[in-house]
């Protein structure tokens, strides 16, 4: 089976319905649909509030300070700026941790794409320790869906009607029902059947599964249909964990859940344009 990929930088693809989609990853991430620049699905979803981020940032800072203390630094005697310099020097800042997570996520996505294109499952033992568990989680999922066949990976899709584009990880076809892990605790795993048919799959290595993930999949589904692909039977978030486990959660969102965020994103762009025009006006008084 021929599996297509839209991962490369500077790619132009024409969807089955005739939409021309251009994507580049450098020097900046960019999508164009029929020649018009549009936001990506993830860019749109970035307008959502992420209340967990400040707490995560605080924990990263505390962990960084703990590691500095173990290396012999007497932190109470240092100024805040000096501690920040040390965290930067030892690559312990939130930016460094974020970048390492991005590298980890890319490695797991690359492993999934390699399986989709060649059929070969990755050997987790060749990966660094901080990535091995996530690869094991991917392998655990693939072992639980033995009839699965990849239809396409890294699929570029676009919506002309709504003005956005994106790229989803995997279009997966299963031929038999398979029990997959949908939730787990420290003592128990809960299973549900993944029924035969085509499923859009998005792979995540994040700390948890969030509503933005479900919105993201529904945006892909809408754009996928508009791009000329058949409707999928379902959409699923494949969340792999550092301990070698996974959860496969069906999307609980609708396209309207994404559309309302897209409306906010478009409103933000309109307001930025208006304030720029206002600030450039001359000869006008500012009134209440």
Q: What tens digit of pLDDT does each residue of 121-136 get?
A: 999 999 989 899 999 9
pLDDT value for 105: 74
Dig out the tokens for 87 from the structure. Answer: 């965290």
Among 238, 207, 7, CA closest to 98: 207
pLDDT value for 2: 40
Per-residue pLDDT reduced to its tens digit, 85-94: 888 888 888 7
Q: Which residue has the tokens 């993930």?
A: 213
pTM: 0.82
Q: Over range 49-57, report the average pLDDT.
A: 71
For residue 102, say if its preceding peptide bond is cis, omega within 30 degrees of 0.
no
Backbone φ, ψ for residue 146 (5° rounding): -65, -25
Dig out the tokens for 40 from the structure. Answer: 């990506």
Distance (Å, rounded) from C-alpha 65 to C-alpha 78? 12
User: Do 193 and 102 touch, CB atoms closer than 8 A?
Assistant: no
Residues whose CB is less than 8 angstroms from the CB of residue 38 and which lie 6 or more positions away in sequence, other chains included: 31, 32, 158, 163, 164, 165
Domains of the chain: 11-57+106-276 (3.90.320)
């Amino acid at each position: 089976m021929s599996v297509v990929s839209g991962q490369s930088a500077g790619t132009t693809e024409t969807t089955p319905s005739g939409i021309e989609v251009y994507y580049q990853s450098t020097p900046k991430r960019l999508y164009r649909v029929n020649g018009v620049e549009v936001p990506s699905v993830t860019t749109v979803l970035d307008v959502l509030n992420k209340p967990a981020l400040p707490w995560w940032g605080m924990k990263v800072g505390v962990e960084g300070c703990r590691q500095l203390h173990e290396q012999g630094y007497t932190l109470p005697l240092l100024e805040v700026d000096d501690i920040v310099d040390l965290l930067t020097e030892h690559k312990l800042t939130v930016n460094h941790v974020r970048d390492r997570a991005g590298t980890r996520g890319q490695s797991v996505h690359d492993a999934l794409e390699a399986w989709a294109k060649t059929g070969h499952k990755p050997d987790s033992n060749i990966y660094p320790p901080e990535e091995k568990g996530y690869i094991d989680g991917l392998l655990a999922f693939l072992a639980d869906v033995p009839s699965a066949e990849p239809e396409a990976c890294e699929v570029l899709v676009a919506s002309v009607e709504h003005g956005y584009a994106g790229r989803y990880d995997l279009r997966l076809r299963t031929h038999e029902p398979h029990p997959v892990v949908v939730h787990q605790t420290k003592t128990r795993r809960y299973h549900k059947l993944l029924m035969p048919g085509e499923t859009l799959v998005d792979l995540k290595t994040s700390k948890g599964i969030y509503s933005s993930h479900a919105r993201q999949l529904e945006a892909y589904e809408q754009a996928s249909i508009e791009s000329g692909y058949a409707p999928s039977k379902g959409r699923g978030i494949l969340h792999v964990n550092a301990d070698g486990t996974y959860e496969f959660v069906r999307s609980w969102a609708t396209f309207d859940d994404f559309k309302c965020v897209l409306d906010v994103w478009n409103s933000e762009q309109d307001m930025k344009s208006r304030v720029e025009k206002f600030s450039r006006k001359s000869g006008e008084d500012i009134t209440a």
